[in-house]
Structure 1
Amino acid sequence: MEKSKKRHSKAQTFFMLLFIPFVAVVILVFAIFTILGINVTDSISRAGASIPGIGQYFETEETMAIEEMEKRIIQLEHENETYASTNEHLEQQLADRDETISMLEEEVQDNRDSESESEEIDETEERTDLQEVVKTIEGMTASKAADILTNVEEDEAVLYLRLMRTSERSEILARMDPEAAASIVSLMSN
């Protein structure tokens, strides 16, 4: 038992006399260099990295910078893929909307064409109806036609008289009240 106490006491002695003072000196030197602005950890990392066999366990600033750059590259590649897929999706939506716009423009053009055709038909029918009215008035006696044109709106009377032959028009105007005839002639000249 005494041997174990001696051994134990030799280990304790080594620990107390050499190890603890060594650690205290290292901490003190580290603190002084840090206060003086010398980067001790970087120097130790570089020195440790240059030792063959254990150098792989030390990280230098260059190694850390390279790892950070690699992480950033991976992150940027991921963002690039995300933006590319979003861009493709938006381009597809744009193409769909362009197609929809084209279809709607065609519909509008078709509607305009059909409207213009129906307007032409309406105008043709109106002209035909108007010409029939004018022929009817021309077929009447001048005094009866004058009475009828006196009772319609002046603009309408002007329209009918413009479509008549000159000889019929002059006979009807001659049979009308002079003031009404003057007003209609005035409107016809404008």
Structure 2
Amino acid sequence: MSSAKSGYFISFEGLDGAGKSTHIESFRHLMQDRFPDMDVMVTREPGGTPLGEQLRKLLLEAPMNLETEALLMFAARREHIAQVIEPAMDAGKIVISDRFADASFAYQGGGRGLSVEKLNDLERWVQGRADGTLLQPNLTILFDLPGEVAESRRSQVRAPDKFEKMDLDFFERVRQAYLRRARANSNRFHLVDATHTTEAIWNGLKQIQINF
């Protein structure tokens, strides 16, 4: 069953430095060219709303208890869904989000060690719908590469936030959590080998078929 109402929901996922942000705006233009009768918008998590952006700053900079971190992530997500994603989907738009709930399972779950049971509870609460289904992307594009490669790329472009300062073992746990999530939801995930060149990755992205 499609997780869309009348629109289409795409998420970009992967380690910071994997290249998702490099391609997301180009992918928006690609979708706009393919579907000229639909509005295409890009948003991000944490963030996407005025409140979400305030929470983003706290989440990326302030030290906090792991469960507080997860609750704030999902609080920002609830606001994002209510204020941005669901209204856009109802209006028939294509929504492309730089991260969604899979990131919480990867970072707070795999990386930081929060139990999957608690994350599942938060996911059902925040993304649950009246018909009993969960709001999930129709398509999740996962940029996969080893943590040390991502770290090398990040160090060349910006100062690290609190997550990016974590060690390589943390990022390997995040990566493996993403891959487990992809295997469990193979009908939704499209895996990108992010060790390839930017050109090769883009050529692969252009081959992705979107089916409404």
TM-score (norm 2): 0.20
Q: Which has the higher contact order (CA 8 A, sep 6+)?
A: 2
Instruction: Decide which structure has greater helix share.
Output: 1
Flag the structure with higher strand content: 2
